């Protein structure tokens, strides 16, 4: 239903969920939570004004919201609250925004459901700066993933 996934698609988010290396390299150091249903990690692509944003994915390959099983959708939504609180406490951000995209017209460009959780700061212009993004180095991501790993280890 409403599938845009190309034939023989190699899903990078499935690779991350399985702890495998993607074409961008290993993301395993950025994963700070994983259970049987979801994997949660510091995103590999950043908006400059909002470093360290987080992505929640289902471990099972689910292309979009239209085919999301309710029990997995509930787990993602429930955990997004935990991530939002963690971002407030560990990043000292001023707020949090969530985003999720479906189909090309909805700006989906990876054919695996994923929910973005952005730390927000006064006047960060997240929605105006969406083209000002880049792929940070492992060293740039490490302080953010370390903070979240420590937070979730203490609050498990």
Integer angstrom CA distances of residue 76 from 84, 92, 94, 115: 12, 23, 23, 8
Q: Per-residue confidence of the chain (156 residues) as pLDDT tens digits?
A: 789 999 999 999 999 999 998 888 889 999 999 999 999 999 999 999 999 999 999 999 999 999 999 999 999 999 999 999 999 999 999 999 999 999 999 999 999 999 999 999 999 999 888 788 999 999 999 999 999 999 999 987
- Contact yes or no for 128/151 (Cβ under 8 A): no
Domains along the chain? Answer: 32-124+131-154 (3.30.428.10)
Q: What is the pLDDT of residue 135?
A: 94
Q: What is the pLDDT of residue 129?
A: 83
Q: What is the pLDDT of residue 22?
A: 85
Question: Pick from 88, 101, 79, 13: which is nearest to 52 by CA?
Answer: 88
Report the predicted TM-score, pTM, of the whole model to 2 decimal places: 0.95
């Amino acid at each position: 239903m409403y599938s845009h996934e190309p034939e023989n698609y190699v899903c990078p988010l499935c690779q991350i969920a399985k702890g495998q290396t993607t074409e961008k390299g290993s993301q395993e150091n950025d994963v700070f939570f994983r259970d049987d249903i979801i994997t949660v990690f510091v995103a590999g692509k950043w908006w400059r004004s909002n470093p360290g944003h987080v992505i929640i994915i289902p471990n099972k390959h689910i292309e979009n919201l239209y085919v999301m099983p309710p029990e997995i959708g509930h787990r993602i939504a429930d955990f997004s609250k935990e991530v939002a609180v963690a971002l407030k406490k560990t990043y000292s951000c001023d707020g949090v925004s969530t985003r999720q995209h479906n189909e090309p017209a909805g700006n989906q460009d990876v054919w695996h459901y994923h929910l973005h959780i952005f730390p927000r700061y006064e006047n960060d212009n997240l929605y105006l700066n969406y083209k000002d993004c880049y792929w940070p180095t492992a060293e740039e991501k490490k302080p953010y993933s370390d903070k979240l790993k420590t937070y979730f280890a203490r609050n498990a």
